[in-house]
Amino acid sequence: MNAGIDLDPACRYPYEKNNDAAFIEQDVAKMGVDEVASLFSPGTIRVLAGCAPCQPFSTYSQRYDTKSDSKWSLLYEFGRLVGGLRPDVVTMENVPTVGRHGVFDDFVAKLVGYGYHTWFDVVECAQYGVPQTRRRMVLLASLHGPIDMIQPTHRKPKTVKQAIGRLRPIEAGQASPRDKLHMASSLSSKNLARIRASRPGGTWREWPARLVADCHKEDTGRSYPSVYGRMEWGKPAPTMTTQCFGYGNGRFGHPEQDRAISLREAAILQSFPRNYEFVEPDLPIQFTPVGRMIGNAVPVGLGRVIARSITRHLNGCDARVSPRRMRSSD
């Protein structure tokens, strides 16, 4: 049985619709081992994948109370479930800086103590066909022997143009009549003037003084040159965030159209399939919940490579992975 667990109710429809899998809307910190164990089919290889919210581990973690923020402890909860379930394979994805925190060291130490062979490293998603510069810590662990990621699959990264260059042109505040997710947020008159003054790969420092935001004139704002920026056709996109549909939130301006990228374009740059459904057909599209799902997602291309790595590993040690061994580790 395939199943996913998340607190966000907006995830239910896309998870079940696109993955033909069960969605459990619940806090994993409150789930018992037996409850999670019931989601696995008897006699099958157990793979447990987890991804604690990345915000506490990011370079902006100074904004978070790491002692009381419940998100901080979710990696410990993941370790608790691993210890109780003893799945054959464990995998986790997070921001690169998770490796700087003691909770990550504790998690790896627990895996080793449980008898897992562990591998972890920071990988560049663009080297695996994701049209985006996104560095992520990936961890793989197995009870059945050494495991690691397959080697990079792409010598040349996919570009923004290769990913979204053929989508229907739209204007700011407009949606495509054939794909309601291909919808761009509106722009104020000042932001419209700003994007018209922007070149692909350029910065707000090239604008006329009348367009520069007051916050960028302060010393604290000078270190954020990519905000209000346009992407470049010939390069991968920047890292997609939960606010990637907003022109002022990063280099999320379309390379040539005077607007921010659409939700569909953001999803494609996260390597979601072109026809992936995020919202029920009869419901309106809301930027914030859809943007949150897109930005928080493990890029589909990276997930596919992780799955291939696990499959390669299990195929190589199939003599040691037997139903009897599986049942004894339940």
Is residue 251 within 8 Å of residue 230, measured between CB atoms? yes
Helix, strand, or coil (residue 132): strand
Is residue 251 within 8 Å of residue 171, measured between CB atoms? no
Reference 232, options 130, 125, 132; nearest CA is 132
Domains 26-157+299-328 and 159-297 share a fold: no
The model's pTM is 0.90
Antiparallel, parallel or unpaired: β 3-6 and 22-25: parallel
- The arrangement of secondary structure in 26-157+299-328, i.e. its CATH architecture, is 3-Layer(aba) Sandwich (3.40)
Query: Which range has the worst mean pLDDT, 38-47, 50-59, 110-119, 277-286?
Result: 50-59
Is residue 128 within 8 Å of residue 166, measured between CB atoms? no
Query: Which range has the worst mean pLDDT, 33-37, 115-119, 218-222, 259-263?
Result: 218-222
Residue with tokens 């059945």: 144
H/E element holding 316? helix 300-316
Using the CB atoms, write b or e for 232-255: b if 16+ within 10 Å: bbebbbbbbbbbbbbbbbbbbbbb
* Mean pLDDT calculated for residue range 115-122: 98
pLDDT, one tens digit per residue, over 25-79 is: 999 999 999 999 999 999 899 999 998 765 544 444 444 444 444 555 889 999 9
Domain residue ranges in the chain: 26-157+299-328, 159-297
Task: Give the CA dihedral 124, 122, 46, 273, nearest 10 degrees.
Answer: -20
Catalytic residue numbers?
54
Tell me how far CA of residue 206 lies from CA of 212, 238, 306, in angstroms.
Answer: 9, 20, 41
Tokens of 31: 């789930």
Class of the 159-297 domain? alpha beta
Q: Which residues contact 186 (CB under 8 A, 6 or more apart)?
A: 172, 173
Tokens of 233: 């056709």
Residue with tokens 């291909």: 182
- Model pLDDT, residue 57: 43
* Predicted confidence band of residue 101 (pLDDT cuts 50, 70, 90): confident
